[in-house]
Amino acid sequence: MELSNLESLPGRSIVRHLGLVQGSTVRSKHAGRDLLAGFKNFVGGELKGYTELLNESRQEAVDRMVEQARAVGANAVVNIRFSTSNVAAGAAEVMAYGTAVVIE
């Protein structure tokens, strides 16, 4: 499966457009991470626990998007975008979405 944030793939032809595909995950903060993050707010620096959480969430959202693309017969997803939103206190959604296509 080829993935791109471009609207097309250089050197490849899109022969079929299969529509929007998406994948998402909703994650909440771990109490230990939240406590350490609160401390980090006082001293400054990267919140590594949250960085790891977001990276894992982004990858899970992409994996789910790819599953959906395969299910409709795509061999590529173009114009990929990411979105995040708070859905509840301490929980956030990460979404990956793009256009499923068949390329040659």
pLDDT classification of 90: cutoffs 50, 70, 90: confident
pLDDT of 91 higher than 70: yes
* 2-103 is a CATH 3.30.110.70 domain: yes
First to last CA, the chain: 12
Instruction: Give per-residue pLDDT as tens, 19-78.
Output: 999 999 998 866 555 555 555 555 667 777 778 888 999 999 999 999 999 999 999 999
Torsion of CA 86, 88, 92, 96, to 10 degrees: -70
Model pTM score: 0.84
pLDDT value at residue 46: 73
Longest CA span, the chain: 54
